[in-house]
Amino acid sequence: MGRRILIVDDAAFMRMMVKDILTKNGFEVVGEAADGAQAVEKYMELKPDLVTMDITMPEMDGITALKKIKEKDPSAMIIMCSAMGQQAMVIDAIQAGAKDFIVKPFQADRVVEAIEKALG
């Protein structure tokens, strides 16, 4: 089972937090991106097994990036990360093909559970 992850979040400390959770649980973080445009670029370059994607970012938001990645690779595994109160956006993301979502502030076990479930 592939365990190569791309982390996408405009906040460096959030990327660091997710990376820490993932590496401690045996996942390999192969790349990071700070906005949706970078995410699409890095996805095509790195071909990760899964992406954790923030919803609200500058340049290109997570839902737009999700749609662009899914256009290029319909089998892409993407888990959205959202702040509380972003239910409408989460629904949009799931309809656009996101596998799951995790809510900030992150709970390590929930992050791992969502990724394990998505990777099956």
| CATH number of the domain bearing residue 11 | 3.40.50.2300
* Residue 118 belongs to some domain of the structure: no
Q: What angle do CA 6, 63, 61 make, to 5 degrees?
A: 80
CA 11 vs. chain centroid, Å, equals 13
Mean pLDDT of 77-87: 86
d(CA 17, CA 62): 18
Domain assignment present for 40? yes
Domain with 65 in it? 4-45+53-109
Q: Is 32 part of any domain?
A: yes
Say how many domains are in the chain: 1
Sign of CA dihedral 17, 104, 102, 69: negative
Does residue 93 sit within a domain? yes
* pLDDT digits 0-9 by tens, 20-77: 999 999 999 999 999 999 999 999 999 999 999 999 998 999 999 999 999 999 999 9
Q: What is the pTM of this model?
A: 0.93
Helix, strand, coil share of the chain (percent; to 5): 45, 20, 30
CA distance 48 to 115: 13
Domain for residue 115, yes or no? no
